[in-house]
Amino acid sequence: MRTVRVNAASKSYDVLIGKNAAKVLGDEAKKVCPGAIKALIVSETNVAPLYLDLVKAELEGAGFEVIDYVFGAGEQNKGINEIAGMWNKMAEAGFTRTDFVVGLGGGVTTDMAGFAAATFLRGIKVIQLPTSLLAMVDASVGGKTGIDIPMGKNQVGAFWQPSLVVEDISFLKTLPDEVFTEGMGEVTKHAFIMDLDLLEKLEKAAGDIRSDEDLLEEIVYMNVSDKASVVGEDENDNGRRQTLNYGHTVGHVIERDSGFTKPHGICVAKGMGIVMDACVRAGTLAADDAERMKALLKLYKLPITDDITPEAIVEGAMNDKKKRGDTLSVILVNKIGNAEIKKMTKEEFLKFLSI
C-alpha cells in the first residue's frame, strides 16, 4: 500500500493506493470519522452492482449503519435533483454532523458525493473511493466538488476536501476500455504540464499501462503525487492549481456542446491538441515538442482535434469558471513539463485560436 499525504490549507489527509485497498476502508473510516454512526454510500448504476455490497460490508463490519443512494450513470445526471435526493436520504435517516458520505464511482460520483457532503448540515465529512482511472488520478483528490447546469460543467460547487481517499487498483480491472482511455486524458496532462519522468514512463510503456498491475499502481501514485503537490500550494485555484486545467478551457466547451455525451477525458485531450496547434502557429511551442505530445496522446488512443470552430470555443469559454472579470486564464505548455497561465481577453483568445 502506498500513501500520498495531501496538505491542503484547510485540511490534510491521506490517499491510500494499492491492490485490494478497499479492505482497509472500515478501519480507516473509524480513524478519520470518530464519533460517526451512519454512512451514506453514493454510487451509480454501473458501479453499484460491482462494488456496493463489498464496500457496504466493509463499513458495516467496522460498526457503521450504512445506507446507499444509487443514481443513473452518466454526466447528464450530474445535477441538483440527484443532490437533493442525497440530502433527503440523509435527513430521513437522521444523519448528524459526525456522520459521513462515501463516494463510490468515477468522477461524476466523487464530485456529487463531495458536494452533497459539503452542503448537508453545512458540511459533513466525505471519504472518496474512486473506481475509474480518471477519478483516481484527478477528480477524487483536491476537494473540487460540484454539479453541472445547462450553461456549463461544474458551474455550481464547493471546495470541500475529503477526509480520506482510498484507491483500490483492483477496481480498474472491470473498467471498460473506453473509460480507461478517457482517464489517460488526465494522466497525459500531468505529464505535459509538470512531470517529465511520468512522460518518459508512459512513452516506454508503449500504450499499455493496464496489463502490468504494478506499473499501473506506480502511474496512479505518480499522478496523485503530482496533484497533491499542486493542491498543497494552491488549494482554491487562484494560482498554480489553474495549470491543472490544461486542455480544459477548450475541452469543457466541446463537452458541453455535445450535451455531455462526449467523455470528459476525451474532450480534454482534444482541447490539449487544439491549444498545442495554436502555440505552434504562434511560434511559442517547438513543432517537435508538439509532435512528441501528440504522439503520446495517439499512443493511448486519444484524439487530438475536433471540428469545433474558434468562435464557438471563445463564446463557450466566456461562461467558464476560470474567467476572472473580462479575462480568461488560458493554460499553455510552451515547453514540455512546464505550464504557464496566460491571461487573455475574448478578442485575444479568438486571435490566438485563429492564427
Residue 72 burial by CB count (10 A; 0-12/13-18/19+): exposed, middle or buried? exposed
Distance CA 277, CA 355 (A): 10
- Note whether 22 and 168 are within 8 A (CB): yes
pLDDT per position as a tens digit, 29-57: 999 999 999 999 999 999 999 999 999 99
Q: What would the pLDDT profile of 136-146 be if each residue is shown by its tens digit?
A: 999 999 999 99
Whole-Å CA distances, 89 to 70, 84, 116, 350, 352: 11, 9, 11, 46, 48
Give one word for 25, left, alpha or beta, with left for phi > 0 and alpha for psi -120 to 50. alpha
Q: Return the residue matching grid coordinates 493511448.
A: 300
Cα separation, 269 vs 248, whole angstroms: 9
Query: Which class for 347: exposed (0-12), middle (13-18), buried (19 or more C-beta within 10 A)?
Result: exposed
- Give the span between the Cα atoms of 13 and 33, in whole angstroms: 12
The cell numbers describing 317, all together, are 469559454
Compute how many other C-beta atoms are within 10 angstroms of the C-beta atom of residue 58: 22
User: What residue ranges define each of the domains in the chain, with the CATH number in brackets?
Assistant: 2-174 (3.40.50.1970), 192-354 (1.20.1090.10)
Q: Is 103 helix (H, G, I), strand (E, B) or coil?
A: strand
- Distance between CA atoms of residues 223 and 331, nearest Å: 19
**DSSP character at residue 22:** G
| Residue linked to cell 443513473 | 72
Report the alpha-carbon distance of residue 9 to residue 29 in Å, rounded. 22
Residue 218's closest CA among 244, 197, 246, 194? Answer: 197
Whole-number pLDDT of residue 86: 98
Q: Provide the residue-wise pLDDT of the chain in tens; the chain has 355 residues.
A: 999 999 999 999 999 999 999 999 999 999 999 999 999 999 999 999 999 999 999 999 999 999 999 999 999 999 999 999 999 999 999 999 999 999 999 999 999 999 999 999 999 999 999 999 999 999 999 999 999 998 888 999 999 999 999 999 999 999 999 999 999 999 999 999 999 999 999 999 999 999 999 999 999 999 999 999 999 999 999 999 999 999 999 999 999 999 989 999 999 999 999 999 999 999 999 999 999 999 999 999 999 999 999 999 999 998 765 666 789 999 999 999 999 999 999 999 999 999 8
Q: How far is CA 340 from CA 23, 269, 290, 322, in A?
A: 40, 18, 16, 14
Q: In the prediction, which pLDDT does 321 show?
A: 59
